[in-house]
Every structure is written in C-alpha cells, then in structure tokens.
Amino acid sequence: MKKLVLSLSMVALFLGSCSSDNEEITTQPIPTGTISGDITTAKTYPLGNYTIQGTVKIKNGGSLTIDAGSTITATLADGTADALLVENGGKLFLNGTAALPIVFTEASKTAGSWGGIIMFGDAPIVGANGVTTATSEDGNNLPYGGANTTHNGGSLKYVRVEYAGKKLTDNTSELNGFSFYSVGSGTVLENLVAYKGADDGFEFYGGTVSAKNLVSYGNFDDSFDWQDGWRGQENTNWYAYQVGTGNYGMEIEAKSVNNAFGPKVTNITLTRGTGTVTEGGSSAAEYDAIQFKKEGNGEFSNVLISGYTTAGSTAVRIQDAATNTNQVSGGKIKLSNVKINDGTSQFAGVGTAFTVTFPVGNYSLSTTTTGAALTSGSWSIIDGLDLLKK
C-alpha cells in the first residue's frame, strides 16, 4: 500500500509539472505577406495566407516553393495585372495534398480577375508554317520552343486556380487558368483545378509535358485547349464541367501542320450543364464536346460525353477539309470506348463540303465507359460544392 501511495504521488507531481508547461505554449500565427516582383534565387513561403501583386516572374535560376495548405489571393481592385509566371530555366514547386491544396484565388470572386499560372520551357513545338520557336500570345511576348524534351519547370500537385482569365493591357490577350508554353516531360502536373476563369481552363502551347487528374469547371471558353504540336503521352483523368458560359470541351489544333505525332489522353469526362451558352453569344457553333481543326489530332480513350444537346451540336466536330483528309482519313485521330449520353450525334463535319468517315478501328463506342476516375477531397471542394459530384 505504501508503494502504491508513493507511485500515485509521483504521477500527480508529473502531471502538475506538465500542466504548468502547457500554460506557456502559444499558437503561432499563420504567416501573411505579399508575393511580388522577380524571383532570382531560391525562395520558400511556409504555410500561410499571401497576396500576389503584379506579375511575379520566376527568372532563369530562380525557384519558388509554397507549402501545402497555403492560399494566395489576387486583387482585381488594385489595378495590377496579377499572375504567376515561370520563365524558362525557373522552377515552381507547389506540392499540396488532397487535404491541404494550394489555392490561388481572387478577393471579389470575379472571373477574369487575374492571369493564373503561366509556365515557359524549351521543349519542342511545331508552330505555324513549321517554326520551332514562337512568341507567346499572352501579352507577355516571351519566346518559347526548343529541343529540350525533358525540360523541368518544377512540380504542381493539388493546386487550384480560381477566377483567372484576365485580359492584359491590350484588352485582347486573355490568360488561362493554367498556360503551358513548350513545357517538357520533366515537369510534374497532377491534381490541378481551373475554376471559373474567363478563358480556357488549361492550354498547352507545344511541349512534351503530360498532365494527370485535371478538373476544369465553369471556364468561359474551352475546358481544355492546345496547339503548336503539343505531344504529351501520359495524360489521364481529365474532367470538365461547363456551366453558365462555355465553348468546347476540348479544342484541338496544330497550327495547320500535318504532324506525324499527337498527344494521348485516357479517361475523359466532358459534361455541359443545362442552359450553358457560348462565350459572349457570338460564337454560336462553339458548343461541341470535342473540336478538331487546323490538323489537330491525337489518341483518346474511355471518353464520357454528356449534355451537348444544343441543336446542331455533336460529340466530335471536324472543322475543316484538311483535318478530315490528313488526320481522320489518315488515321491520326483515334477515339475508342466513347460513351455519348443524351442522344448527341457521334461526329460531323462543317457543311456539306466533306464527309467524315473514320477508318475501321479508329472510332468505337462503349456502354461501359466510365470517363475520368478522380477522388474527392478538399482539393476539389469550393464553398461547400464538390466539383466532382456535378
């Protein structure tokens, strides 16, 4: 009994000591501050709430790391052209998690408020007339293109960009949610969300990079768009939901160059919400799920299409005779295991100048297609709305 009393006394003494120590523990405030200017060295921002001011440029040799769970807010009202731009040779590390995504947003929640994330590399492109370098169309007028297929611009995982698509000072150059100029295969792009921007959700300008687990929700122009001979080979799980205003689910072109290659994308869901209209009402024909034009091509499998029911719309549109001859008849466009809901027609051309006929084996339907396979989490939930449940 004496031993038990002694043991209990020691426990009480220990707990009392811990209680005293705990009173001295304080919660550290979440860091805040402004991200601005050029980044020329390695710079890291810990988990916090930050403001982005102006076009932040990560220069050649510089790097920017922002920790998981951080929020970076642009402000339309300050009059600056806010954007995060990675120049060729710079690196961006945004490695969030499903529970702690890295969120770029805008204070007023207005589409077109800022420029989103823009990355440049020196991977190959094939531009108009077969050029291997070009100047960006985003208003920054930066060169892109090269021969570095494995260019590495960093790592973007579980990153959400909201309310991008700003027009720059020329009032015509629109920026997307994510813009990738000749980005190479060494760059990691996974679990990215482009939400309610005023232009495209994702656009690729040439390059060899691949992207996995993409969500394009409520963007005014196209959900996914590419040109300049983009050739990513390991793309999978692309999900698009167009609501309110939206044009094509995917707009595919190659600057009128008949390339011997094209991208590959597996597991695609393209959905158009009821009542969605085309951008500005001026492009009445831009309501198809997938459009191929200017020699665009590629291989696409496990494709689920719903809601593209506007009179005259189709699941797959071939926009011009050259694309039909060289890409469709030439066997460079392949769509397999396509499931079309809502009675939308399978494919069509424009007018009566040519007839679209896919070679045997290059277009197939399936009743069991599932489309994109994505897992919900904080990364896909905005203001209580789970984007993947639409």
For the stretch 255-278, pLDDT in tens is 999 999 999 999 999 999 999 989
> What pLDDT does 169 receive?
58
> What pLDDT does 2 receive?
37
> What pLDDT does 47 receive?
98
Q: Of 363, 307, 298, which is closest to residue 336 (Cα–Cα)?
A: 363
Ranges of residues in the chain with a pLDDT under 70 are 1-27, 168-173, 281-284
Round to whole Å and give the CA distance between 26 and 9. Answer: 29
> What pLDDT does 390 receive?
78
> What pLDDT does 20 receive?
40
> What pLDDT does 283 receive?
56
* DSSP annotation of 336: E
Domains of the chain (ranges plus CATH)?
A: 48-291 (2.160.20)
> What pLDDT does 38 receive?
98
Going from the C-alpha of 272 to that of each of 221, 313, 315, 375, 380, the distances in angstroms are: 12, 12, 11, 21, 18
pTM: 0.92
CB 143 within 8 A of CB 134: yes
What is the rounded end-to-end Cα distance, in angstroms, of the chain? 67
